[in-house]
Amino acid sequence: MKTTEKIGCGLLLTALLAFDVWGGDRLPAYKDAQRPVEERVEDLLQRMTLEEKVLQLNQYTLGRNDNVNNMADPVGDIPGEIGSLIYFGTSPELRNRLQYRAVEETRLGIPILFAFDVIHGFRTICPIPLAQACSWNPELVKKAAGVAARESSMSGVDWTFAPMIDVARDGRWGRVSEGYGEDPYANAVYCAAAVQGFQGDNLAEGPRMAACLKHYVGYGASEGGRDYVYTEVSRQTLWDTYLPPYESGVEAGALTVMSSFNDISGVPGSANPYTLTEVLKKRWKHDGFVVSDWGAIQQLRSQGVAADCAEAALKSFNAGLDMDMMNRCYDAHLADLVRAGKVSQERLDDAVRRVLRVKFRLGLFEHPYTPESTEEERFLRPEDLAVAEQLAAESMVLLKNEHNLLPIEKARRIAVIGPMAKSRFHLLGSWAAHGSGEDVESIFMGLEREFAGRAELSYAFGCGFDGEDTTGFAEAVSVARAADVVVLCLGEKANWSGENASRSTIALPAIQERLAREVAQCGKPVVLLLTSGRPLELCRLEPLSAAILQVWQPGVRGGAPAAGILSGRINPSGRLAITFPYATGQIPIYYNHRQSARPHQGKYQDIPSTPLYEFGHGLCYTTFSYGEPVVSCETFRRGDRITVEVDVTNTGSRDGAETVFWFVSDPVCRISRPVKELRHFEKRLLRSGETGRFRFEINPERDLAFVDEDGNRFLEPGDYYILVKDRKVKLTLVE
């Protein structure tokens, strides 16, 4: 029988089993879809041998791995009993073949869970997560995750290693591109949105995939912005900064969690009983499973806490790490560790239960195979591209607009210069899954369409992304001279950010800054269009540019929105989710820092001490004025609810979206608190002349309270301030 025929029979058999045509008596309880998940889990668990259990706790790879950071010999003969496979295919065919082996040719027929890194799209690549965060539109982020889930699940992927919710405040760290910026609350909100988008409304049916909260935890605190290194995270900071997004993800129902590579103050994330068991499983009651990061268990040896793989397996497993991703430690040692009594039967069963639970919840036993479909049915559908384009439009941030140079309304001759202008691939960013440069609309393509019939475009390459070749400068200068306005497209290559892509400086390479100087000397107004996977050091480029638009790495549909913002068709609405330092030497710099002992002193002698562009910064083509915030009660008692409202008026002549950020500050507390903390935000379109009333419903225990180093929330009597734009109101808690 051919494989497809076999799978056909398999499907029929599965369907028959699901419908229980032979009568409930003969159907093992775990195959009975009518029974509760927990009952099915227990029934299956008690049928499993030690070896079968151990295999469920391992993940290998399937297909051609092109992730340069994670090369390992593929496992030659994949056992059908394996728990999970990282699947590099773009069609379900290979997956179904392996699934057949698992479902039809093993004793118990436990389906395999197929995983992949779908970070900001599978084929329809959306902006990188850091850019998405600047949209302040969680609904749209959720939609984009839904698009990714559809393409992935139709291709045979059940589980994504996303969202990445590592609060990150060091732009040198390449992975800053993968998360939602510097603020814990923003990460928490976007995390919930992404989890809901990936997992859909009905886990057991339809386009969905399991989410994985990563990298648990504190990975964003990497010393010096280097990857994989030690992190110094106090319990206090763990609780107030790094854990909140994870708690939000658990509450949103994320099925899985990935442990982090970093050594958290001496106890690596992959062998940390406090974070993995105490907090995640006991306190938050997460009942899905924890997977290791790639090779992270065996890396406990490099981190100096395990002498060999057996000890590494023991430490990780007993700390609460359930599944081994390509370490080959659990498959090699776990059974022996159980036999030797070093790992308890109880702990083993707990881990297996967690993995099975996720498989049952995803409906894998009922629908183990992915239906075949054409690429046209799966990928790049117009409605999905529209989501990518809208998200790109809302995530771009207008950093500067001197004398309202933008929008470009009158210019007849536009010079488009720079290495990023015609680049397609580099707009995808890192972790672009199965995205292809051919799917991408370049900035130049977008401008051509946008300005067709209105302005004439000329182009010069100028220079490469790096290197020392200045031979393109002369052409760039002559093109700039002949134009009314210059659009200078500079930035980072896709692989300059992401994993294992740290930089010692966040400035663009010298050659690009030189090009900017040459072009600026022509005296024509320069619009700087920046593509990057991190905040950039712009102190030398900023004075050379009349306008700056940060387009990040916008994915497949960045050209049209960037051009639309330049032409005025789109009123920019992105606001920074991460601070742009004045210079790299200011790092770490973030808005929610704690107060200094001498706020008026301690400044740098050689550079300003304030950032170039703050968290929340972003311009648009209209103006908004804020009224006085009005509070429902100035004093309150525990258990009360308070409302603060503010009227915001669009005082300009164009419609525009405003994001209202509500911050909290607690000036005196037993633990010193950040100068201000974001607690709520809302983005809304206001027509020209329209006034909108924005509201912050305060639950004091949630919004005003702080957390101590044991994770206990406390609310102290005294004054609190609610800050909105440049206004503030005082609230007082009385006992």
Residues lying near ligand BGC in the complex (CB under 6 A): 67, 69-70, 117, 161, 214, 293-294, 499
Q: Would you say 212 or 392 has its CB closer to ligand BGC?
A: 212
Q: Which two tokens stand for residue 294?
A: 């790639």
HEC letters along 618-650: CECCCCEEECCCEECCCEECCCCCEEEEEEEEE
**Considering the complex, what minimum distance in angstroms separates the CB of residue 326 from ligand BGC?**
8
* Angstrom distance (rounded) from CA 172 to CA 511: 19
- Residue closer to ligand BGC by CB (options 41, 221) is 221
Do 444 and 459 meet the contact criterion of CB atoms below 8 Å apart?
yes
In angstroms, what is the minimal distance from the CB of 149 to ligand BGC? 16
Rounded to a whole number of angstroms, the minimum distance from the CB of residue 115 to ligand BGC is: 8
Nearest 5°: phi and psi at 516? -60, -40
In this structure, what token pair is assigned to residue 709?
């180093």
Distance CA 348, CA 318 (A): 9
- Kindly tell me which of 118 and 147 has the beta carbon lying closer to ligand BGC: 118
Kindly tell me which of 182 and 293 has the beta carbon lying closer to ligand BGC.
293
The backbone torsions φ and ψ at residue 403, rounded to the nearest 5 degrees and listed phi first, read 50, 35
CB of 354 to ligand BGC, least distance (A): 19
Do residues 163 and 252 make contact, with C-beta atoms less than 8 angstroms apart?
no
Q: How far is the CB of 67 from ligand BGC (least distance, A)?
A: 5
Taking Cα atoms as reference points, which of 560, 418, 441 lies closest to residue 125?
A: 441
Smallest gap from Cβ 379 to ligand BGC, in A, equals 21
Of residues 158, 170, 227, 293, which has the active-site annotation? 293
Q: What is the DSSP letter of 212?
A: E
**Closer residue to ligand BGC (CB): 52 or 117:** 117
Q: At closest approach, how far in Å is the CB of 337 from ligand BGC?
A: 25
Measured CA to CA, the distance from residue 505 to residue 694 in angstroms comes to 40
Residue nearest to ligand BGC (CB): 161
Strand ranges in 579-716 using DSSP code E only, listed in sequence order: 624-626, 630-631, 635-636, 642-650, 656-665, 677-686, 691-698, 706-707, 713-714
**Rounded least distance, CB 294 to ligand BGC, Å:** 4
For 459, how many CA atoms within 13 A lie in the half-sphere containing its CB?
12
Residue 403, classed as helix, strand or coil, is: helix
Which residue, 70 or 649, is less far from ligand BGC as judged by CB? Answer: 70
Are 541 and 529 in contact by the 8 Å Cβ rule? The answer is no
Outline where 340-489 has alpha helix (H): 345-361, 375-378, 382-395, 443-451, 473-481
Sign for the pseudo-dihedral over CA of 48, 274, 260, 187? positive
CB of 495 vs ligand BGC, minimal distance in Å: 14
Measured CA to CA, the distance from residue 522 to residue 413 in angstroms comes to 14
Q: How far apart are CA 255 and CA 536, in angstroms?
A: 35
**Residues 57, 334 contacting (CB under 8 angstroms):** yes
Given the complex with ligand BGC, which of 132 and 573 has the nearer CB atom?
132
Contacts of 344 (CB under 8 A, 6+ apart): 338
DSSP 561-573: HHHHHHHTSS---
Residue with Cβ nearer ligand BGC (10 or 268): 268
Q: Is 66 a catalytic residue?
A: no
CA neighbor of 321 nearest in space, from 303, 300, 340 = 300
Closest CB to ligand BGC among residues 294, 379: 294
Task: Give the Cα separation of 674 and 667 in Å (integer).
Answer: 9
Q: In angstroms, what is the minimal distance from the CB of 159 to ligand BGC?
A: 11
Q: How far is the CB of 117 from ligand BGC (least distance, A)?
A: 5
Distance CA 390, CA 427 (A): 16
Residue 471, exposed/middle/buried by CB under 10 A (0-12, 13-18, 19+)?
Answer: exposed
Which of residues 431 and 706 has its CB atom nearest to ligand BGC in the complex?
Answer: 431
The smaller minimum CB distance to ligand BGC, of residues 122 and 294, is found at 294
DSSP symbol at 363:
T
Catalytic residue positions, numbered: 293
